[in-house]
């Protein structure tokens, strides 16, 4: 019978993390915060044919990949199944059918091994990625979160708590990148393609910045920028003129990224917190990474920037957040369900 009532918290647990919220089936193993393996099987190439993630295809792809990716992660970590002290898994937010594949598999594994199950919020996983890059990182720090579903600046006050200092009033930055890519005829997911296109262009078009000018809270807004990029392209198309994809991408990227960098540094300086971290898929953006590094350096702030492979969806970040919850004994019952939406 499954019974973890006498479970003792270990100082350096081996945690297996599983992620299946969107189109990546991922499994990773950590010992303490040290990464032992990090494996991904992606259905992104198949999804790209449809211009976005088709939930049914994602669920089926997870079902086919979850055992293989887990076996690989265990083998690469050089551990036995019996070495696993806890199983951490994404329970939300994401596509319900996709989440249920990873969650059900994780439950089976936790049950068979009689170890705690840890239910991880995907976005908190993105935030915990920074701990993997700097094993000595400890709160407090200021965190820039920029993903497909969220854009915010947070004050992380402990391993399990944060306060929201600034956020988007409408769309998320990643979502705006994806829409900009679509109007430019670039494939899904759009972010990396906009970045690549921007490398060959100049930011000559004066798109409205994602900074909300009249706000004292340093909020962001991406809907105006997104609409401006779409209208710009449609207007040229109506006149039969060609769109300079590289220049649109470079101009959009600058307008989307500069406020994120500026506000993050400003809020860090204002709060007197000298460490800055970042998380979420948009943090993979090369322009953002170089601008944030430069501005943090100028302001005398220490920046812990997760490696690109820890910014886009992965299971190492889920295991890392799993460790934060493990240390406080925050375990889930095997009846825990998947959740499509979780507020920040």
Strand 86-92 to 117-121 pairing = parallel
DSSP letter, residue 283: G
Q: Is 148 annotated as a binding-site member?
A: yes
Name which of 248 and 315 has its Cβ closer to Zn ion: 315
CA distance 149 to 281: 10
Q: Which positions touch ligand KG4 (CB under 6 A)?
A: 122, 126, 147-149, 174-175, 177-178, 189-192, 195, 280-282, 284-285, 312-313
CA distance 156 to 149: 19
CB count in 10 Å sphere of residue 83: 16
CB count in 10 Å sphere of residue 260: 28
Nearest residue relative to Zn ion (C-beta): 313
Phi, psi of 184 (to 5 degrees): -90, 0
Residue 128: closest CA among 325, 262, 302, 271: 325
Q: Is 149 annotated as a binding-site member?
A: yes
Is residue 175 involved in binding Zn ion (CB under 5 A)? no
Place of tokens 């990182």: 137
Place of tokens 């951490």: 88
Name which of 74 and 195 has its Cβ closer to ligand KG4: 195
Name which of 143 and 244 has its Cβ closer to Zn ion: 143
Is residue 178 involved in binding Zn ion (CB under 5 A)? no
Which of 24, 258, 295, 313 forms a contact with Zn ion (CB under 5 A)? Answer: 313
Supply the minimum distance, in Å, between the C-beta of residue 164 and ligand KG4: 16
Interacting partner of 102 out of ligand KG4, Zn ion, none (Cβ under 5 to 8 A depending on kind): none
CA distance 177 to 188: 10
CB 312 within 8 A of CB 23: no
Name which of 13 and 207 has its Cβ closer to ligand KG4: 207
Interacting partner of 92 out of Zn ion, ligand KG4, none (Cβ under 5 to 8 A depending on kind): none
CA distance 12 to 31: 6
Interacting partner of 284 out of ligand KG4, Zn ion, none (Cβ under 5 to 8 A depending on kind): ligand KG4
Interacting partner of 306 out of Zn ion, ligand KG4, none (Cβ under 5 to 8 A depending on kind): none
CB 119 within 8 A of CB 89: yes
Q: Is 23 annotated as a binding-site member?
A: no
Annotated binding site for Fe cation: 122, 126, 313
- Footprint on this chain of Zn ion (rule: CB under 5 A): 313
Annotated binding site: 122, 126, 145-149, 178, 191, 285, 313
Annotated binding site for substrate: 145-149, 178, 191, 285
């Amino acid at each position: 019978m499954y019974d973890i009532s006498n479970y003792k918290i270990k100082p350096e647990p081996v945690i297996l993390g599983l992620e299946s919220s969107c189109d990546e089936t991922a499994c990773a193993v950590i010992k303490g915060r040290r990464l032992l393996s990090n494996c991904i099987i992606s259905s992104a190439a198949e999804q790209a044919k449809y211009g976005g993630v088709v939930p049914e295809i994602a669920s089926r792809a997870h079902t086919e990949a979850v055992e293989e990716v887990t076996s690989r992660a265990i083998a690469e970590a050089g551990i036995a199944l019996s070495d696993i002290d806890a199983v951490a898994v994404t329970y939300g937010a994401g596509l319900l059918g996709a989440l249920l594949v990873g969650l059900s598999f994780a439950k089976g594994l936790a049950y068979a091994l009689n170890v705690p199950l840890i239910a991880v919020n995907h976005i908190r996983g993105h935030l915990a990625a920074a701990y993997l890059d700097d094993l000595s990182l400890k709160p407090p720090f200021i965190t820039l979160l920029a993903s497909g579903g969220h854009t915010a600046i947070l004050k992380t006050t402990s391993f399990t708590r944060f306060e929201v200092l600034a956020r988007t009033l409408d769309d998320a930055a990643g979502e705006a990148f994806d829409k900009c890519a679509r109007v430019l005829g670039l494939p899904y997911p759009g972010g990396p393609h906009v970045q690549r296109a921007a490398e060959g262009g100049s930011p000559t078009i004066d798109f409205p910045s994602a900074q909300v000018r009249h706000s004292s809270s340093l909020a962001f807004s991406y809907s105006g920028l997104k609409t401006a990029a779409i209208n710009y392209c449609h207007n040229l198309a109506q006149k039969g003129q060609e769109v300079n994809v590289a220049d649109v991408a470079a101009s959009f990227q600058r307008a989307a990224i500069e406020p994120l960098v500026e506000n993050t540094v400003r809020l860090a300086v204002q709060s007197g917190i000298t460490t800055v971290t970042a998380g979420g898929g948009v943090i993979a953006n090369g322009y953002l990474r170089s601008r944030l590094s430069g501005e943090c350096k100028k302001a005398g702030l220490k920046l812990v920037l997760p490696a690109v492979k820890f910014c886009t969806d992965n299971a190492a970040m889920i295991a890392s957040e799993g460790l934060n919850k493990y240390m406080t004994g925050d375990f889930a019952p095997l009846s825990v369900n998947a959740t499509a939406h979780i507020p920040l």
